Amino acid sequence: MSGKAWRNRNHPAWWAFIVHRVSGLLLAAFIPLHFWALGQALSGEAALGGFIEWTASPVVKVAEFGLVLALAAHLAGGLRLLALEFLPWRDWQKSLFAVSVAASVGAGLLFALNVG
């Protein structure tokens, strides 16, 4: 690859693209797990109760934080894309990526602190 192509991969817009795509893939991977968890209710009260007890483990709490972070990052990336599509371009919009990252991490931390 040429030097210019590699430089573009260090641009904030490139990282915004990567964060949006990776968060979307993570959310898509979560959907089957979510349906499996909902299906535990169909298996009876004991199966659902066991599943709910398992969700109190620290590993699941960390995974919940990751899920909320992915949701917030994907939302922020989607709002960024909408702004790019419908608003006139300004130089200050480069800073929107940093703001969206901060908002995503903030949403994840608020969830993590509330889960305790």
- Residue that the structure tokens 């490139």 belong to: 14
pTM over 0.85: no
Q: How far apart are CA 47 and CA 11, in angstroms?
A: 48
- For 77, phi then psi, to 5°, come to -65, -40
Of the listed ranges 25-29, 92-96, 101-105, the one predicted with least confidence? 92-96
Domain extent listing, the chain: 3-115
What tokens appear for 10 in the block? 């260090």
* Class at the top of the CATH hierarchy for domain 3-115: mainly alpha
Q: How far apart are CA 108 and CA 3, in angstroms?
A: 36
SS3 97: helix
CA-wise closest residue to 22 among 104, 115, 109, 112: 104
7-40 pLDDT, tens digit per residue, is: 667 777 788 889 899 999 999 999 998 998 888 8
